[in-house]
Structure 1
Amino acid sequence: MKSVIPILATTLLILSPGTFVQAQSSTPSAIGKGAAPAGAGKRTDVYHVHFTKAALGKAVQLGDWLKTPDRSNPMPDHFIVLRHQDGDAWDYVVITHLGPKATVEAAGTAVPPDKRDLSEWHTDTFVNGPSWEEFTRAMG
């Protein structure tokens, strides 16, 4: 009897994740035929998303520099700078609209030497998203 209980407990533990996975899976009838997932509009344009952490004591200077339009961009005024207030490692995110097509070239460091010490680290990614008009309307 003592050996049956551990075997049953082990069997239940092994089989229980399958039950949880099945309970969480969605079926087409549960989603609904006419319902679209959130944010499922047309993703026609390319955006550059830049997260950055300000160097110690340099947040204001970094923010001022990030708010300066880059005239080398195809649409220099199509960008938004957001400041993180609380709880994560990054201080700013800059979302730059590049248009319906974009080409990325390894052209070296685009940051001027006098601005390099403003940021502790950064990360860049390119994403597809809605048109600039839809994006600005959604951002308010």
Structure 2
Amino acid sequence: AALEALRRIAAAVRPTQGRHAVEAGRTGRLLAPGGTYEHVPLRLAHVEMGDVEALAAAARALGAPYPGEWVEAALSETDTAIPGPQLVVRLAQLTGLLDLAETPSTTLLRERLADADPAADIVLTAEEESAYQSLADRFTAMWSLSSPLARFLY
């Protein structure tokens, strides 16, 4: 179930990322107030909560103190080169990013991005800039496991 959920999530997110976004016509840039510099893009994708919950359940099962031989067998049958513990961490991180709690900052940005033309540049207001920085900090902390060097790496 988790593998199918991951495939559906990847299918929903892929068109918003990198060259796939360009191919889909999502070429608009996200600019700081006054257009002074470009931010890392922030794009919306719809994923089903049931799929996020399936990934969370898989992370919990795989991360149990003694998940059993079935986990090792399942991991050995996959095409992934990710060792079991790293797979658990990545699943948990991905689940956390997809299930991020709604805040006034996320609501403000979601509403602004939802109404925007994906091919047009967006110049953020000062309030939106603050919301973007807050959300970027949350994403970075979650993805980097709160590493103090993360601000310089991502």
TM-score by length of 2: 0.21
Higher Rg of the two aligned structures: 1
Higher strand share goes to which structure? Answer: 1
Higher helix share goes to which structure? Answer: 2
